[in-house]
Amino acid sequence: MSTSASSSLLTAKLPTFEEILEAAKETFRQNFGQEPELACCAPGRVNLIGEHVDYNDGYVLPMALPMVTVIVGGQRPGNEVDLITCCAGADDPKHVKFSLTDLQPSQKPKWANYVKGVIHSFMASVGVQLANGFRAVIVSNVPVGAGLSSSAAIEVATLTFLEHFTGHAVESDAERALICQKAEHKFVGMPCGIMDQMISVAGQKDFALKLDCRSLETFQIPFVAGEKDLVVLICNSDVRHELSDSEYPTRRKQCSEALKLMGLRSYRHATEGNLSDLKKTKCEEVLVKRARHVITEIKRTQDAAEALKNHDFAKMGELMTKSHMSLRDDFQVSCIELDVLVDAAINCSGVLGSRMTGGGFGGCTVTLLQQSAVDNVITTMREDFIKKFNKDAAKNIEFYICTPSQGARKVHL
């Protein structure tokens, strides 16, 4: 089941993969007067459980989405990159050129820094300078700013393109993810964890990915919810609070401070019993809350992976809801809009669990529910949102039904 063809007329109609690939090819023809030689794509992701623990040595359980970023391109003389984006939400200018011999982050456009950073990290990793420049067009149907990792999709699509363009393959999925993470750290200035890049690289159809964020070891967990007539429903709230960029580094710092006060080197060694030691230091209560979320979320994620293995979807849903409560109360990265949507969902018949997903302060919720309940749940979530806020606030809310999909890959032209 794709995002564009669901059992409900209430879900959003996103462009299909075929439509965005054709749009990329046509834009390439119109601007460069020739056919592209190569196409690659990489997906966005939704994290089922395991939020804000990827940078704390925890486990996460994301799945790759059918929404992808596509890049098509071909060689050009010299050492310049000639790049166009058709991605919604990208800042101007949409058409840029830059030299491969002097890759530097730019103030504008910010979207180009994702590509520049990956090129820079890729060349450093494989130990080669690109022999030729290239022309390329980027198109995506991953909603931007929704917490579905549109940034990682661009990074991983770019890396996959570079591997096929140069013939230099990166050694492992872990190294691919690290190259893209480094690009976001150094060229975008976002100290993200490794989850988004890893699932975009290594996702598989009909599997969730349990990722050990300390060792980068991955475990493919079968997730065929359709066998039980269940679906995953994503709600894009269209809320984007400006706090997200500033609060992310703050949360990382607070987690680190709490870990140090507990006398531990990693949250993987921490238990709820360590919270008593933390309280004895008479630290700020906020540090206890942050540590409690990380410790309990790591355990919830391990339990959720086992629940999926055992096809215990009721347990999986219960853990998802508990995760939201922890993110709301202890990590304090939810917001009233997401809380209203989650509360509306979990009070509906047929819903097993619901939570915010992504960095927080807006973005998306993810809900595990019975297929037959989809229309009622969507209607209830929208109506409750309107009651709390107003019709204008709800007019851009979108819903997508998704299944675990394939990770980064070359696309046949």
Q: Which positions are annotated as active-site residues?
A: 196
Kindly give the interhelix angle for 150-166 and 195-202, rounded to the nearest 10 degrees: 50
Question: What are the residues whose beta carbons fall under 8 Å from the beta carbon of 142, sequence distance 6 or more?
Answer: 43, 44, 65, 67, 68, 69, 148, 149, 150, 153
Q: Are strands 59-76 and 207-212 parallel, antiparallel or unpaired?
A: antiparallel
Q: Which two tokens stand for residue 241?
A: 């609070």
36, 413 in Cβ contact below 8 A? yes
176, 199 in Cβ contact below 8 A? no
Q: Which two tokens stand for residue 147?
A: 């917490």
Q: What is the DSSP string of 97-161?
A: EEETTS----SS-THHHHHHHHHHHHHHHHT---SSEEEEEEEE-SPTTSSS-HHHHHHHHHHHH
Which amino acid appears at position 294 of this protein? V
Q: Which two tokens stand for residue 375?
A: 């229309």
Which amino acid appears at position 227 of this protein? E
Cβ burial of 209 (10 Å; 0-12, 13-18, 19+) is: buried
268, 213 in Cβ contact below 8 A? no
371, 230 in Cβ contact below 8 A? yes
Is 177 in a helix, a strand, or coil? helix
Q: Which helix (H) or strand (E) holds 163?
A: helix 150-166
Residue 160's alpha-carbon distances to 16, 104, 128, 210, in angstroms, are: 21, 21, 16, 22
Q: Residue 81 CB: number of other CB atoms within 10 A?
A: 22
Using alpha carbons, select from 174, 58, 159 the residue that is nearest to residue 115: 159
Q: What secondary structure letter does DSSP report for 398? A: E
How many residues comprise the chain?
Answer: 413
